[in-house]
Amino acid sequence: MCGISGIWSPADADPTEATRLMFFALYALQHRGQESAGIAATDGRDLRVVRRMGLVGQVFSEPDLAVLGGRAAIGHTRYSTTGSSRIQNAQPMVVNADIGELAIAHNGNCINARDLRDELAAQGVRFATSSDTEVVAQMIAAEDGATWDERIVRALPKLRGAWSLVMLTPTAVYAVRDPLGVRPLCLGRKGDAWLVASETCALDTIGAAFVRDVAPGEVLRIDDRGATGIADFAADRRGLCVFEHVYLASASSDLGGVSVYATRERMGETLAEEHPAAADVVIPVPDSAIPAAVGYARRSGIPFREGLIKNRYIGRTFIQPSPELRKQGVALKYNALRDVLQDKRVVVVDDSIVRGSTSAPIVDLLRGHGAREVHLRICSPPIRHQCFFGVDMARRDELIASHLDVEAIRRHVGADSLGYLSLDGMVRATGGTTGELCTACFTGDYLVPVQLELAKEALET
């Protein structure tokens, strides 16, 4: 996952405005990563970086923003896919080259990072982290070329996998998407400032206008001359991750010009057609499945109610629950409403089942609060294959649908019935076609050949 953003403001802008806007852009991208956050900024001479473990609101203080200053900045919220969750792997990362400094923030996963790192190590490059992002940064720094433009354009075709990148030098911001456009990235404007962000919700939060998506394979340089395309590596097909539509992106964002909320409503409507249920009430597992449950209720005619309330402040905590509290499981995260559930036949809608560890306690919680029947409806097909392109889902053997069929999963979670949205229904709801999306976690059809044994810690030494 991970959220990334970049900003280039005019020379006469308030010198703390860029980092202040970046802070709020990252705040809006918090859902894409809660492990660490960072901002790199420049005043045109050198780069300054603040990055720490924790949520955006915990990482930065007012004095940090003053120290960062600068008229241009990039930022990152991290959810690790390659490299473990520790401060050395937090981003943005900075490399020093003979032509100056470069800061980089990455959303995605480079599947040939191990090979590239071995090649660079053989040339004498030393690595400080286990992250594929450092490999990308060192590879660009080690390229031939008198300018960052040249080095970036030479280096990027060597990468395989998923990368949306923002980079910062003292004189420019760069924004890049991989040739398939697996991870989103969009361009916006606020007055004379240019912005890029993983999702449109970040532009809305800071009052910027959406200009367009950065195109798959596009390399943009943003500086006082504006946003200039300096290379185009587009593949002959597109491959936006369909799981962005299902779960990853904020419901308040648009993906490819289409509202994520509306897509999820359509998924819920199709789910109601494919898997109807005789029930009294439709409830979502909040927050991600709310629009899908709205769609299911509308199409089925069964009333929508909230039956589970999510603790909005749960985030990611470093305080481990005691063994006794751990037994409470999902009860730490959700409170159930007896008033809504008592003696009811309940349809509960969730976006996906990954490992299968959340659904059983949710079904228990609903029954424990009076539900007479529980019909579980899932707004995506069974996830049977590992993601190598930037979603930390699970290893293949940990995915419950890789070794159990739907009936066995139903028994495992203890529901009265279980229905998954079809692949075709999910893809249609996005308004796209399978030829424009990556659906590998459902189908096993990877758009770039992968080594199936590749693990998250592949670069750990």
Window of 224-232, 266-274, 385-393, 415-423 that interacts with ligand AMP by CB under 6 A = 385-393
Among 17, 35, 269, 351, binds ligand AMP (CB under 6 A): 351
Of 53, 111, 365, 393, the one binding ligand AMP (CB under 6 A) is 393
Phi then psi dihedrals of residue 203, to 5 deg: -65, -45
Q: Is 180 left (phi over 0), alpha (psi -120 to 50) or beta?
A: alpha
Asked if 378 and 285 touch (Cβ cutoff 8 Å), the reply is: no
Contact call for residues 94 and 47 (beta carbons, < 8 A): yes
- Dig out the tokens for 397 from the structure: 């053997």
Q: Is 352 in the site for ligand AMP (CB under 6 A)?
A: yes
Residue span binding ligand AMP (CB under 6 A) among the ranges 184-192, 311-319, 348-356, 440-448 = 348-356
Among the listed residues 2, 110, 201, 438, the single catalytic one is: 2
CA atoms within 13 A on the CB side of 293: 25
The 3-state DSSP class for residue 233 equals coil
Residue range at the interface with ligand AMP (CB under 6 A); choices 150-158, 267-275, 291-299, 344-352:
344-352
Strands, sheet with 218-223, edge to edge from the N-terminal-most edge strand: 93-97, 100-110, 161-169, 172-177, 218-223, 226-232
CB-nearer residue toward ligand AMP: 23 or 247: 247
DSSP for 130-154, written as a single string: S-HHHHHHHHHHHS--SSHHHHHHH
b/e string for 145-178 if b means 16 or more Cβ within 10 A? Answer: eeebbebbbebbeebbbbbbbbbbbbebbbbbbb
Task: Please give the Cα distance from 397 to 221 (Å, whole number).
Answer: 42
Of the ranges 167-175, 205-213, 355-363, 429-437, which one interacts with ligand AMP (CB under 6 A)? 355-363
Count other C-beta atoms under 10 Å from residue 191's C-beta.
12
Tokens encoding 334: 């959700």
Smallest distance from ligand AMP to CB 96, Å: 34
Q: Which of residues 244-283 bind ligand AMP (CB under 6 A)?
A: 247
Minimum distance between the CB of residue 259 and ligand AMP, rounded to whole angstroms? 19
Is the preceding peptide bond at 43 cis, omega within 30 degrees of 0? no
200-219: which residues touch ligand AMP (CB under 6 A)?
A: none
> Does the annotation mark 2 as catalytic?
yes
Q: Does 391 bind ligand AMP (CB under 6 A)?
A: yes
Judged by CB under 6 A, which of 358, 380, 386, 430 binds ligand AMP?
Answer: 358
Quote the least distance from Cβ 332 to ligand AMP, whole Å. Answer: 14
Q: Give min distance, CB of 66 to ligand AMP, in A.
A: 34
Considering the complex, state which of residue 64 and residue 392 has its C-beta at the smaller distance from ligand AMP: 392
Among 213, 350, 364, 436, binds ligand AMP (CB under 6 A): 350
Q: Does 412 bind ligand AMP (CB under 6 A)?
A: no
Angle at 407 between CA 281 and CA 420, to 5 degrees: 50
Residue 35 as a binder of ligand AMP (CB under 6 A): the answer is no
Q: Which of residues 286-315 bind ligand AMP (CB under 6 A)?
A: 288
Which positions are annotated as active-site residues? 2
Binding region for ligand AMP (CB under 6 A): 247, 288, 350-358, 391-393
